[in-house]
A and B are shown apart, each in its own frame.
Chain A
Amino acid sequence: DVKVTQSSRYLVKRTGEKVFLECVQDMDHENMFWYRQDPGLGLRLIYFSYDVKMKEKGDIPEGYSVSREKKERFSLILESASTNQTSMYLCASSLSVNYGYTFGSGTRLTVV
């Protein structure tokens, strides 16, 4: 089975901190995605990547950046954390951009 691992289950950070969320997948998938989940808003795409060093903005990229230096690893960066970035962050990977997404367990980030 494909495994997508997010390095932290829970994080608490201070406003203004630079925050790194790490995601690793073990099935050689080209495509990787970062979502955030908020009540009533569903899953909103922040950034995605088709290949190493490739990235594309999703629906809500403001305040975030990403890094994909190796195929298996996709990092989400909060440049200067703010309280409105408190959320559940979900990483996914897939062979196809249109189906077969496998999600990690999520990182619950609280910005205080």
Chain B
Amino acid sequence: DQQVKQNSPSLSVQEGRISILNCDYTNSMFDYFLWYKKYPAEGPTFLISISSIKDKNEDGRFTVFLNKSAKHLSLHIVPSQPGDSAVYFCAASGGATNKLIFGTGTLLAVQP
């Protein structure tokens, strides 16, 4: 049972435009959410996180939005740059889970 879902395997965006990556979860007890970015042949690196007590968190070009009623979070990248091209994983934790639960990832391609 996939508790964290990223339904778009890939996304292509023009440089300078907004990239929106989506993530849905099923466990209402999750209370902490993270986004990781992964380049080929490297390990994932932490990008941004949000606690369930917030609905938005910003860090430079990256903003994460959380909609608890819809069990949905999204990552916005504005403006997108070619160096943002990578696989993005969302992850969640909380409740009875004793580890991070990762989604399947979305491959973002930012076209110059």
Contact = CB atoms under 8 A, between A and B. Distances in A.
Given A98-B93, A99-B93, A106-B42, A42 B103 contact: yes
B32 A98 contact: yes
B46 A101 contact: yes
Interface stretch (B12-20, B54-62, B63-71, B94-102): B94-102
B49 interface: yes
Interface in A55-96: 56, 58, 90, 92
Nearest to A42: B104
A14 B50 CA distance: 44
Contacts of A37: 38
Interface of A: 4, 9, 33, 35, 37, 40-43, 45, 48, 56, 58, 90, 92, 97-106, 108
